[in-house]
Chain A
Amino acid sequence: MTDIATPLQVRAPSPGVTVIEISGEVTRESDAALKDAYERAGAGTRSIILAFDDLDYMNSSGIGLLVTLLVRAQRNRQRIFAYGLTEHYRQIFELTRLDEVISIHETEHAAIAAAG
Chain B
Amino acid sequence: MSTQPDNRDAAAWARPVDRLTATDGHINVTGRRPTAPMNGFGRMWQKTYRTSLGDAKISPSEVIAAWKEHFPEFWPAGNRFFAPLAGIAPGEVAALDLSMPGGLKLSTGVLVLFADEESFTLMTPEGHMFAGWITFSSFVEDGETCAQAQVLMRASDPLYELGMTLGGHRQEDAHWLHTIASLAAHFGVSTQVSAQTICVDRKRQWSRAGNVWHNAGIRSGIHMTGAPIRMLRRLTQRGREA
Asked whether B85 is an interface residue with its Cβ less than 8 Å from the other chain, the reply is no
A88 engages B7 (CB within 8 Å): yes
- Name the one of A59, A84, A95, A98 contacting B15, with C-beta atoms under 8 angstroms: A95
B133 at the interface (CB under 8 A from A): yes
User: A59 and B119 in contact (CB under 8 A), knowing A64-B150, A90-B1, A95-B113?
Assistant: yes
| In the assembled complex, A2 has its CB within 8 A of some CB on chain B | no
Residue of A28, A59, A90 with highest tally of chain B CB at under 10 A: A59
Asked if residues A68 and B46 are in contact (CB atoms below 8 Å), the reply is yes
Q: Which of B41-73 contact A (CB under 8 A)?
A: 44, 46
Question: Which residues from chain B contact A60 at a C-beta distance below 8 Å?
Answer: 113-114, 119, 121, 133, 135
Contact B17 A95 (CB under 8 A): yes
CB contacts under 8 Å to A, within B197-228, are 200-201
**B38, A97: Cβ atoms under 8 Å?**
yes
The interface residues of chain A lying within 8 Å CB-to-CB of B137 are 28, 61
Within the complex, the shortest CB–CB distance from A30 to chain B, in Å, comes to 14
Q: Note all chain B residues with C-beta closer than 8 A to A71.
A: 44, 200-201
- Total interface residues on B, using CB and 8 Å? 37
Residues from 26 to 82 in A contacting B, C-beta threshold 8 Å: 28, 52-53, 56-61, 64, 67-68, 70-71, 74-75
Q: Across the interface, which residues of A come within 8 angstroms of B200, CB to CB?
A: 68, 71
Q: How far is the CA of A91 from the CA of B17 in the complex (A)?
A: 10
**How far, in Å, is A48 (CB) from chain B's closest CB?**
16
Contact of A57 among B9, B16, B113 (CB under 8 A): B9
**Chain A residues within 8 Å of B1, by CB:** 85-87, 90, 106
B98 at the interface (CB under 8 A from A): no
Please list the residues of chain A having a beta carbon within 8 angstroms of any beta carbon in chain B: 28, 52-53, 56-61, 64, 67-68, 70-71, 74-75, 84-92, 94-98, 100-101, 106
Across the A-B interface, give the 8 residue pairs with the lowest CB-CB distance, nearest first: A60-B121, A60-B114, A97-B36, A95-B16, A94-B16, A71-B201, A91-B16, A86-B4
